[in-house]
A and B are shown apart, each in its own frame.
Chain A
Amino acid sequence: MSRIEEHVHRIFRQIPDSERKTQLTKEIIQDLEEKVADLMSAGKTEEDAVNKAIIDFGDIDDLKAELMPAVKRHREHGLSLAYSIAGSILIILLVVFANFYYTPGVIWCVYPIFAVLWWPLSMLYLYLKRR
């Protein structure tokens, strides 16, 4: 694998595989290789030309943002929300059990329950905000 190919594959590593990604990777490698050939015919050594092509490629963040499906991010937040709800229900059940099993005379379990509820609440906020 050439250095150009290696570099492009490294850039796209975090992006989930898709047909579009495969095609775009191929396209960019082709472009950069043509650029390297142009730079070499302008008198640069191969190493210099490859370095310049890689440096000139620029900031990848915009491109990443275009390729990352927004739907997926939303689904991830949905998962966090479900997890937080399940987790807080378990914690609340544990606290309620401990309360009524060991100290049925004193109702102290509402305090930790209030604290734990912030967790799903914040996740719900994140979920709704993204939508």
Chain B
Amino acid sequence: MISSDIIRGHLDAIILRLIYEKDRYGYEIAKEVEARTGGDFKIKEATLYAVFQRLEKKDLIESYQGSISHGGQRRYYTITSLGRAYLSEELREWRKTKEIIDTLLEGLQ
């Protein structure tokens, strides 16, 4: 399992992206991250909730109590318009960063 600093530095954006697609609850996001990376990257619950707190404090996401499903009411997270703006900025920055690192590191045999 990879636990790189680079991934950690973009966790906010990764989680925002997942919430951007649709409103999700905590464990669903953890499962989704693991499934999409085929188990290469797992997010710890403690980290996940720290990110939620941070994003909520910055008004990038909001949470609400979902309707009663099996196993009780869940708390869902939804992205705000500020969150969308932040996400697209992060994405732009990431593309640029990727380009720079590719330029500097790739091509070596």
A: which residues have CB within 8 A of B? 23-24, 27-28, 30-35, 37-38, 56-60, 62-63, 65-67
Task: Say whether A66 contacts B71, CB under 8 Å.
Answer: no
Dominant SS at the A interface?
helix
Pick from B15-23, B46-54, B84-92, B96-104 the stretch touching chain A: B46-54
Query: Top 5 nearest A-B pairs by Cβ distance?
Result: A58-B44, A66-B53, A62-B50, A58-B46, A31-B27
A52 to chain B, nearest CB (A): 12
Give the CA-CA distance A59 to B49 in the complex, in Å.
11
- Asked if A58 meets B47 with Cβ closer than 8 Å, knowing A31-B26, A31-B27, A63-B53, the reply is yes
A5 to chain B, nearest CB (A): 13
Task: Say whether A63 contacts B49, CB under 8 Å.
Answer: yes
- Asked if A30 meets B47 with Cβ closer than 8 Å, knowing A35-B27, A66-B54, A67-B53, the reply is no
Return 23 A-B CB contacts under 8 Å, by A number: A24-B49, A24-B53, A27-B49, A27-B75, A28-B45, A30-B71, A30-B74, A31-B27, A32-B45, A33-B71, A34-B27, A37-B71, A56-B42, A57-B44, A57-B45, A58-B45, A59-B46, A63-B46, A63-B49, A63-B50, A65-B50, A66-B54, A67-B53
Give the CA-CA distance A126 to B103 in the complex, in Å.
45
Give the CA-CA distance A62 to B51 in the complex, in Å.
9
From B25, B44, B54, B75, give the contact of A56 (CB < 8 A): B44
Give the CA-CA distance A32 to B71 in the complex, in Å.
12
Interface residues on B, range: 10 to 19
Q: Please indicate the chain B residues that have their CB under 8 angstroms from the CB of A60 in the complex.
A: 46
A104 to chain B, nearest CB (A): 61
A13 to chain B, nearest CB (A): 15
